[in-house]
Structure formats: structure tokens, C-alpha cells
Structure 1
Amino acid sequence: MQKNLISTLALTTALISLSGCSSIESYIPEGGFFPGVHKIDVQQGNLITQEMVNKLKPGMTRSQVRYIMGSPIVTDTFTQNRWDYFYSLKPGYGELEQKRLTLYFEDDKLVQMDGDYRPQPQADTTAEPQ
């Protein structure tokens, strides 16, 4: 009887001790230092750069857009005139960064862009210096 009681107490103590391990991240200082633990950066989706968005022009065909941007992350069979690009970066010790870009087509031509990126005007490099 006493042997079962000791075994039960030992098992209960072990389970209670291990249940605290799930919340150990709350004890890590702001700098993210915890000896022996390395967190990796996690990237998901399509990498979108401002240079890529600057190359997009209204009237481009789907194949031209795919050449610049790559394949969209979401292809919806119900709305084939809409392409969604999504990028997410979760650094090991930092804030989550998410960017999205939605492209709309009519008659297989690019007509509209929506999301976190906007095309920026290009500097005119053909003009001669004065």
C-alpha cells in the first residue's frame, strides 16, 4: 500500500513539474537569450520586393506578370481573375512581418493592384544632365 502511494506521489510530482515546461517561453528575457536554444527564421509564401511591384504595369498579360512575380500563392477556381501573393516572415526573436499583394485581371490583362505595395514612379534616367 505504501509503495503504491510513493509511486503515485512521484508520478504526480513529475507530471506537475513537466507541465510547467510548456510555459517556459514566458521566462525568456526580452533579448531572447536562453542557453542552448536557437530559434530559426520562418519564411512562408512569395517573396515580394518593391522592385518587382515597380515592374508591373496595367495591361500586362498573365504570363508577363507570372514572369515578374512568380506563381500566386492562392489560385481560386471561383475567382480566376484574382491572384493573391502573400509573404510572412517570423524571425526567431522578433516581430511577425506579413505583406500581401492582390492583382486583378480583366480579359487576361492586369487592371488593378491592391495590398501593402504600391508601384513607385521610376526616376527618368534617359535625360541628359545639365
Structure 2
Amino acid sequence: MQKHVQRLFFAISLLLLAGCQYFQFPGVYKIDIQQGNIVTQEMIDQLKPGMTKRQVRYVMGTPLIEDTFNPNRWDYYYSMAPGKGEPTKERISVYFEGDTLTSFSGDYTPNGAKSTPTPEQVPASDSEPATEFEAE
């Protein structure tokens, strides 16, 4: 009988510990978790057609993902999981032809840009249209 009580106590303890992930104890502080590149609207507004990869890296920072098989695409991804509240995710993909910026797609639109991509600018894997720059 003693052995069954110990097993039952152990099983209940495991269930309670597993539930701690979903239940917040009062007074327990949960940290904010940020991952990826912070991208702002001001950074997007600085992007201009014809910029080199080096200039884009200066404005946007080092991309989180540089695809080995497609060196003409850089991906910037940012996620924020606050201790309290809903998590947010943002992404932007920047496209080049050689060393020249041509377009981008994602959660931001530059001020004064139109969204009319050509088929070769949007990879088949992307569901969002690329943003093409207006000629100035």
C-alpha cells in the first residue's frame, strides 16, 4: 500500500509540474524573449533601388538567414514573446540581382512604394508579393 501511495504522489507531482507551463503563479516574473533582427519602418524607408548589398547590410543589419542556395535573397525575422501578452512575429525578405537591391516582401511597405512585382521577383515559395520601388 505504501508503494502505491508513493507512485500516486509522484504521478500527481509530475502532472502539477507539467501544468506550470500553462498556469502562472501570482508574483512570478516571466522575462521577455526577443529573437532575430529588429526591423523598423524607418529602416525600410531608407531602402532605395540600386543599393548594394553592403549598403543594405549597413541599414538593416546582418540578415538572420542568408540562403546558401539563393545568395540573392536575405531574410530578416523578429519574434517577441513577452512575459505577459501575445507574442508577435515580423519578417522581411530582401531580393537582389547580383549586388543590386531590386525588391523585398514581408510585413513592411516603404512609404511611396507600389506593390506590383514581376513573376521573376517573387520566388514560388513566397505567398506575399514583393514590393517594387517606384522610379524617382
TM-score above 0.5, yes or no: yes
* Aligned match for 1:10, one of 5, 12, 22: 5
Find the counterpart in structure 1 of residue 129 from structure 2.
none
How many Å separate the matches in 1 of 2:58 and 2:21?
42
Shift of 1:109: 0.3
How many Å separate the matches in 1 of 2:81 and 2:106?
19
**5+ unaligned residues in a row in structure 2: which ranges?**
113-136
Find the counterpart in structure 2 of residue 114 from structure 1.
105
Q: Do the aligned partners of residues 36 and 13 (structure 1) sit closer, same or farther apart at CA in structure 2, a change above 3 Å counting?
A: farther
In terms of fraction of residues, the more helix-rich structure is 1
**Residue 70, structure 1, aligned to residue 61, structure 2:** yes
Find the counterpart in structure 2 of residue 42 from structure 1.
33
**Residue 23, structure 1, aligned to residue 19, structure 2:** yes
How many Å separate the matches in 2 of 1:120 and 1:15?
59
**5+ unaligned residues in a row in structure 1: which ranges?**
29-33, 122-130
Question: TM-score, normalization: structure 1?
Answer: 0.79
Query: Structure 1 segments of 4 or more deviating over 6 A?
Result: none
Identity of aligned residues (%): 47
Question: TM-score, normalization: structure 2?
Answer: 0.76
The amino acid across from 1:23 in the alignment is: G
The amino acid across from 1:79 in the alignment is: N
Which protein has the larger Cα radius of gyration, Structure 1 or Structure 2? 1
Q: CA RMSD in A?
A: 1.4
